[in-house]
Structure 1
Amino acid sequence: MSALHCLLCGAPVRTPREHVLPSWFFKRFAGQGPFTVLVNGVPAPYASGAVERAQLPRLMLPVCGQESSAGLKCNDWLNTTFEQPAKIPVRTLLGELRPLSGWEVFTFARWAVKTLLLSAHPQAAYAEPPQRSRQPWDFPDSWLPSLRDTGEMPSDLSLWMTVCDPDASDRDGEPGPDDQLLLPHVHHPAGGGPGQATHLGFGLPNGRVAQLQLLSHPHTDISHPFEDAGLAARLWPTPPDELDIRGIRPLSPATGRQFTRTFIRGGPHISLDGGQRRLPEGLVHPRVRVRLP
């Protein structure tokens, strides 16, 4: 097994110790099992062959903490910077279904961006892994160290939230836009890469599911068709003044799946390198605009 290093400061670590979702978050699900991991609607078995667990599976990452004398205790920094400030806003919004405002919205949105970023990292692994394939992002090595150094999120990230009602029929649920946006791969001296999206869903006390979608879109401006249709709330990079999860119109399961498939990788390669611009005709969808230098 190759040596592990902290994703934020590079110090050696013995085992993956950082929970992508904190222990306090899992307490809200105590006694609610058994839990099943679904992949494309199909239960994913564990190595033992079982498909159910009494506890939710925990996604882990190599991040240094108290046990690492060479590190910067990045586990503690994540807890202080993101987890502890977000406790009350997360519980208020996802646990009590009460609205957030001002600082609470910002804190929740920043916590959600951090959580989706870590969940999409190539080294993220379940402590008790179900047998499923993961398709992590092409994660730039500089993102997390820069976050640790500056406290600033990587640029060109956007976060949306919508709500899905598993009991809604496809006829009764709110119809969604059928737009699918092909994301370009942008080359730029200051850094670029492929546009790509990742998702997490959180069960709500009323049986619905809050769906969060994080998109990386280097050097491009994105207009989300679900946001334009009033079916999703944009939480990052500019959080709204207020966030009421009860005010987001619920989607049917089919439309919820459509939401997760809005963005498609594999668009054209675009070079923005100081004059040598390759901008093919019919470059991108009208909702995806490349920012010229």
Structure 2
Amino acid sequence: MNALHCLLCGAPVRTPREHVLPSWFFKRFAGQGPFTVLVNSVPVPYASGAVERPQLPRLMLPVCGQESSIGLKCNDWLNTTFEQPAKIPVRTLLDELRPLSGRGVLTFARWAVKTLLFSAHPQALYAEPPRRSRQQWDFPDSWLPSLRDTGEFPADLSLWMTVFDPDGSDTDGEFAPDDQLLLPHVQHPDGGGPGQATHLGFGLPNGRAVQLQLVSHPHTDICHPFEDSGLAVRLWPTPPDGLDIRAISLLGPAAGRQFTRTFIRGGAHISLESGQRWLPEGLVHPRVRVRFP
């Protein structure tokens, strides 16, 4: 077995121990089982062949904690920095369906970016039975150590949120399946890589669901077509002043599925010089934001 090392500080660790979603979050689903894990739309079975389980499986990552004598106790740092501050905002927004404002929005957005970023890591592993996550990114080695050192997320990450009704009806004017945007692969002296997207969905007490979508777009400025049409809220890198889940336009099931497929990896390969950013019309001021064609 290959040795495991903490993704944030590099210290050796015995087992993947960091929960991508914290234990307090899983209490939302108490008594709602049985659950089935799907990987690429295929149920993941136990060794016995059974696919249903009484509890949701935990998605784990190798991160050092109290047992490490040479690590930085990064598990504790994640808990203090992201998980504990997010408890009240997450419960307020997702369980009580009450609005957030100011610092509460920022705290929720930072927790959501962290959670989706970790869920897309190639070492993310479902604890039982052992299976890789189905959403994996090309993950630069510097991203998580830099997060540990500075508390700042990698540049050019954007997070959007929308709400959909899985039992609702689709209406005219919602997005068709071909409304998709290709994310380019950028080569840049200061780091680049492929554009890529990942998502997580959470059920709400009223039977509806929240979809969170995180997009990495190195040295590229993007807009989301759902945001352009008032159907999604951008939470990162600039969180709104207020966030009311009841005020977000409700999507039908087809549009909800399409939201998760908006961004497609595999666009053009772009080579940039230092200080340049790519836009469809050419290289312009870095604050200019345009939509992909």
Q: Which residue of 2 aligns with 1:167?
A: 167
TM superposition shift of 1:200: 0.3
Report deviation, 1:139: 0.6
Separation in structure 2 between the aligned mates of residue 116 and residue 57 of structure 1, nearest angstrom: 16
Q: Output the CA distance in 2 between the equivalents of 1:91 and 1:166.
A: 21
Deviates more, 1:214-223 or 1:176-185: 176-185
| C-alpha displacement of 1:45 | 3.2
Offset, 1:288: 3.3
CA–CA distance in 1 between the matches of 2:171 and 2:247?
20
Deviates more, 1:44-53 or 1:84-93: 44-53
- 1:192 and 1:37 map into 2 onto residues whose CA distance is 33
**1:24–1:189 CA distance, 2 compared to 1 (3 A):** same
On the 8 A contact 1:195/1:215 being kept in 2, the answer is yes
> How far does residue 40 in structure 1 lie from its aligned partner after superposition?
6.1
AA partner of residue 74 (structure 1): C
Gaps of 5+ in 2: 284-289
Q: Distance in 2 between matches of 1:156 and 1:133?
A: 23
Q: Which moved more, 1:161-170 or 1:209-218?
A: 161-170
CA contact (8 A) 2:64 2:73 kept: yes
Indicate the residue corresponding to 1:264 in structure 2: 264
**CA distance change for structure 1 residues 36 and 244 in 2, over 3 Å: closer, same or farther?**
same
Please give the TM-score of this superposition, normalised by the length of structure 1.
Answer: 0.91
* 1:26–1:274 distance in 2 versus 1, CA, 3 Å: closer
Tell me, yes or no, if the aligned pair for 2:89 and 2:105 is still in contact at 8 Å. Answer: yes
Q: Deviations over 1:25-83 (max 9, x none)?
A: 11121122111224566544344322211101100000000000010000000000000
The alignment partner of 1:226 has SS state of helix
Aligned length in residues? 286
Deviations 1:251-292 (A, max 9, x none): 111111111111011111111135999999999xx6139xxx
Number of the residue aligned with 1:150? 150
Distance 1:266 1:110 in 2: 27
Q: Distance in 2 between matches of 1:118 and 1:128?
A: 18
Q: Is structure 2 residue 35 aligned with structure 1 residue 31?
A: no
Letter in 2 for 1:217: H
Confirm or deny: 8 A CA contact 2:20 2:115 kept in the other structure: yes
1:140-183 per-position Cα deviation (integer Å, ceiling 9, x unaligned): 110000000000111100000001101112348x7236521111
> In the alignment, which residue of structure 2 is the partner of 1:186?
186
Residue identity in the other structure for 1:175: E
Matches within 5 A, 1:69-108: 69-108=69-108
What is the correspondence of 1:46-85 to structure 2 with a 5 Å cutoff?
A: 46-85=46-85
What residue identity is the alignment partner of 1:226? F
CA contact (8 A) 2:135 2:198 kept: no
Q: Does 1:227 align with 2:227?
A: yes
Q: CA deviation at 1:245?
A: 0.5
For residue 123 of structure 1, report the CA deviation from its aligned partner: 0.1
CA contact (8 A) 2:120 2:137 kept: yes
CA distance, structure 2, for counterparts of residue 275 and residue 147 of structure 1: 22
Pairing of 1:106-121 with structure 2 (within 5 A): 106-121=106-121
Q: Distance in 2 between the 1:183 and 1:231 partners?
A: 21
CA RMSD in angstroms comes to 2.5
Contact 1:44 1:132 in 2 (8 A): no
Residue number in structure 2 paired with 1:287? 291
- 1:133 and 1:63, CA in 2 relative to 1: closer, same or farther beyond 3 A? closer
Partner Cα distance (2:101, 2:180) in 1: 32
Do the aligned partners of residues 287 and 91 (structure 1) sit closer, same or farther apart at CA in structure 2, a change above 3 Å counting? same
Q: Is the 8 A contact 1:19 1:61 kept in 2?
A: yes
- Contact 2:280 2:292 (C-alpha < 8 Å) held by counterparts: no
- The 8 Å contact of residues 222 and 292 in structure 2, kept in 1 or not, is answered as yes
Distance 1:57 1:278, change over 3 A: closer
How far apart, CA to CA, are the structure 1 residues paired with 2:88 and 2:77? 18
* Corresponding residue number in structure 1 for 2:286: none
SS at match of 2:158: strand
| Counterpart contact for 2:219–2:277, Cα < 8 Å | no
* Aligned residues of 1:9 and 1:145 also touching (Cα < 8 A): yes
